[in-house]
Amino acid sequence: MTDTKSGGRLSPLELMTKLISFPTVSRDTNLPLVDWVEDYLGSHGITAHRWPDPDQPHKAALFAHVGPEVEGAIVLSGHTDVVPVDGQPWDTDPWTVVEKDGRYYGRGTCDMKGYDALAIWALVEAHYAGVKRPLQLALSFDEEVGCTGAPPMIEAMQGVILKGASVIVGEPSNMKAVTGHKGGQGIYTHVVGFEVHSSIMHTGVSAILEAAKLISFATEKNAVNFAAEPTALGAMFDPPCTTWHVGMIEGGTAHNITAKDCKFAMDFRAVPGDDPDALVADYVARVREVEAGMQAVHPDTRIDLNIRFAVPPLRPEDGGEAEGIARAITGDNAGHVVSYGTEAGQFQAAGYSAVVCGPGDIAQAHQPNEFIEIAQFEAGHQFMRDLVARLM
């Protein structure tokens, strides 16, 4: 696989092929991939730093700096985890890159090991080119389960490598400069009722019926939000408002017993400008109202809440450098926002200028037979060539 003509440097395709060979599904380890990237960078004289997750010893983030030891680097940010392939009808081995019909197939080609490969390639090239402005690489984990790996990675980077200035998060955007996205939060809700025979249900508390009151909260909020006049920032999105959603629910043991337990995941996606803390407080207030009614029937009932993830929105920046760099290289001057969340909002919250710009179409992410168009991958490669040239 090594390209001997370039002194042991691998091409973007070779790098992507290697990264995809590691089945780094979020539930599993990413350490073999991290080990390989660390060794590969080290073979080129680049010191990589890892941050092992103390709560998950089988996972780690990796970051590195090349160029002069000064602040103000451009940061290339990607995640190493991918979604599962279980139950999906793949036509090829998902852990092997297959070229067919102008596309590269494989889990992560689009989301987002294709970009990771391009970022690693650019870091090595920048190192050998002797750039005058530094370039950094940041590879996180657990993005696919709520962007939970980036915040501790960003914190770990501080003081280990010099603070960067602008971050390009390479989620698939068809190489368009995405300057805004919704924030999101997931709240795991566990309603604990009191079991009795359903013929005397008034003496018990059905966790399912009480949970239904909270799930109705999502329906009511969506009705209000969709009916309201969108804000200036909200109008940029589709849909143009904050949305609430319940995608998972389980509970009950038999049709004739009031349910002891009901568990569900309440999520919201907030447009920039809507305060996530206020949204959570609104939900919590409704939860406590329902809980008080339950406990009036039986004191042993309760509702437990656990924040599953919290992703801040990416807000369009007035004259943001990251946006300026992406636009200057791609020539894209249109406005783009997306309704999904990324780690860009987390970098922005930590004081970086941030933009989302990467190869591939988000429609292919998480799909069976995931692919990236070769033309998109090549466009990403050209972007990295131009970026390195700008740092000279």
d(C-alpha 262, C-alpha 243), whole Å: 22
Q: CB neighbours (10 Å) of residue 289? A: 12
Q: Is the pLDDT of residue 93 over 60?
A: yes
Q: Hey, which residues are catalytic here? A: 81, 143
Using one digit for the tens of pLDDT, what is the confidence trace for 201-234?
Answer: 999 999 999 999 999 999 999 999 999 999 998 9
Give the mean pLDDT of 238-257: 95
The overall average pLDDT reported for the chain is 95
First-to-last alpha carbon distance for the chain, in angstroms, is 29
Give the mean pLDDT of 345-354: 97
| Whole-number pLDDT of residue 335 | 86
| Whole-number pLDDT of residue 308 | 87
Percent of the chain scoring above 70 in pLDDT: 98
| Whole-number pLDDT of residue 80 | 98
Give the mean pLDDT of 305-320: 92
| Whole-number pLDDT of residue 3 | 43
Using one digit for the tens of pLDDT, what is the confidence trace for 254-310?
Answer: 999 999 999 999 999 999 989 999 999 999 999 999 999 999 999 999 999 999 888
Question: Which of 64-73, 234-243, 349-358, 365-374 bottoms out in mean pLDDT, i.e. has the lowest?
Answer: 234-243
